[in-house]
Amino acid sequence: MTHSLRIPDLTIPARPARTAWPAGVGPGDAGDPAVNDVDVIRVLGEARLAGTVHVVGAKNSALKLMAAALLAPGRSVITNVPRITDIAIMGEVLRRLGCVVRFAADDPVDPMVARGGVERSRSVVIDVPEQPGAEADYDLVRRLRASICVLGPLLARRGYVRVAHPGGDAIGSRGLDMHIAGLARMGAEISGEHGFVIAEAPDGLHGADILLDFPSVGATENLVMAAVLARGTTTIDNAAREPEIVDICTMLNRMGARIEEAGTSTLHITGVRELRPVRHATVGDRIVAGTWAFAAAMTRGDVTVTGVDPAYLEVALDKLVSAGGLVETRGGAFRVRMDDRPKAVDVVTLPFPGFATDLLPMAIGLAAVSDGASLITENIFDGRFMFANEMMRLGADIRTDGHHALVCGHERLSGAPVRATDIRAGAGLIIAGLCADGVTEVSHVHHVDRGYPDFVADLRALGVEVERGTAPEEPDLAI
């Protein structure tokens, strides 16, 4: 069976099928095509998505759960971990801190998760030493901003940590001010030199009352992980409320921590002397689930999404209902069907339980093919609209002004070569290409690999004509 597109002069060689991870080897190790190839994804437009797609564990939770394992010596096992490159990078961060990290098959393997014989989720087994290392190197931290989350647990365990200042997606400034201010209130001495953040607490951390200026997910996670081993009680006001925060608090409590009111804006953490290793399943990925929900609406399709609690997407699903879609929910699954052209809806991103900023590219894609004009407002990241120029190459009518974008919908977009600028923008551009005439080619899809396990296989299973191949080499223009 071939998966080449119908247009002969635009076909590219089909991407070789991925093999399952060998025992003890994770994504990103030598030979993993997701990391080693410079790839493009091409989709044939005028598609309609239909079928069922299963969502595995949340990347934004699994990465922090792996860091939380540092808090207890011994073996922790985290299941339902997505097969993506960011997980591989975090695994290497932990290895360089002295941990033994290996990947194993989830047991039992769900046939929805292992489509085509390739697992999309795995378990990560982490053996943490009595004295983990205290330095996270720049060459890894620059590739994965989430690796800054080792700051809190290492400071709590070792009393000293040196972590390179992070990089990450090109979607705006994401400073560490609230991380540093909160740790300082808990007794840490913070300094910076040569691109590293250095935190010391030779006498240990102590409880404190901390008020965050903004409900930052990263700051909340770092401060919670530091507070669980601090002396006394720590209160974090204006804490993030995301499901991923609840997930990490659930794991920590199972390790022996004493965290109260997880999921609210005020967290109370009573420090304990030590924690124990644990086995924990990662919460389903609401952002991936939301991507498929918007894809169904944009293509006037009918898609059932399993593996995630629809309550985590209440605002986003309500927007699709306002756009004319039919949404049905049940425990751990939901269905989105759109029979006619979507109606324009306005969207404002806010911290959870508001509309997730990571779904903004999909919201703009929906607006680009809706009937009417939509006002999209971004309140979280100042660079989230960077990808708008790429969407405009597909014919989208977008006018940006600061934190606002006015999008006037068209019946159909126009296929063109575009470039992914970050994880969610890449997925959004691919989905927008399904609503265009002709073929859309998205380059720099290594970004997509960081957040969507086997995205092409899922698209294909939902009826899309799609293929992935290596991008042609750029010509040598040297004189």
Task: Name the residues annotated as catalytic.
Answer: 169
Query: Are the C-beta atoms of residues 418 and 440 closer than 8 Å to each other?
Result: yes
Which DSSP string do the residues of 316-372 spell out, in sequence order?
A: HHHHHHHTT-EEEEETTEEEEE--SPPBP--EEB-STTSB-GGGHHHHHHHHHTSBS
H helix runs in 149-266, sequence order: 151-158, 177-185, 217-227, 243-254
Element (H, E) at 266: strand 266-270
In whole angstroms, give the CA distance from residue 86 to residue 98: 19
Element (H, E) at 195: none
Q: What are the backbone angles phi and psi of residue 218, rounded to the nearest 5°?
A: -60, -45
Let me know the angle formed at the C-alpha of 450 by 448 and 452, rounded to the nearest 5 degrees: 60
Q: What are the backbone angles phi and psi of residue 407, rounded to the nearest 5°?
A: -120, 120
- Which residues 6+ apart lie within 8 Å of 62 measured at CB? 78, 80, 81, 82, 87, 124, 282
In whole angstroms, give the CA distance from residue 100 to residue 125: 8
In whole angstroms, give the CA distance from residue 2 to residue 32: 23
Helix (H, G, I), strand (E, B) or coil at 289: helix
In whole angstroms, give the CA distance from residue 402 to residue 383: 9
CB atoms within 10 A of CB 406: 15
Residue 158 CA neighbour count, 13 Å, CB half:
22
CA 175 vs CA 148, 425, 451: distances in Å = 11, 21, 22
In whole angstroms, give the CA distance from residue 213 to residue 395: 39
Which DSSP string do the residues of 27-62 spell out, in sequence order?
A: TTSTT-HHHH--EEEEEESS---EEEEE--B-HHHH
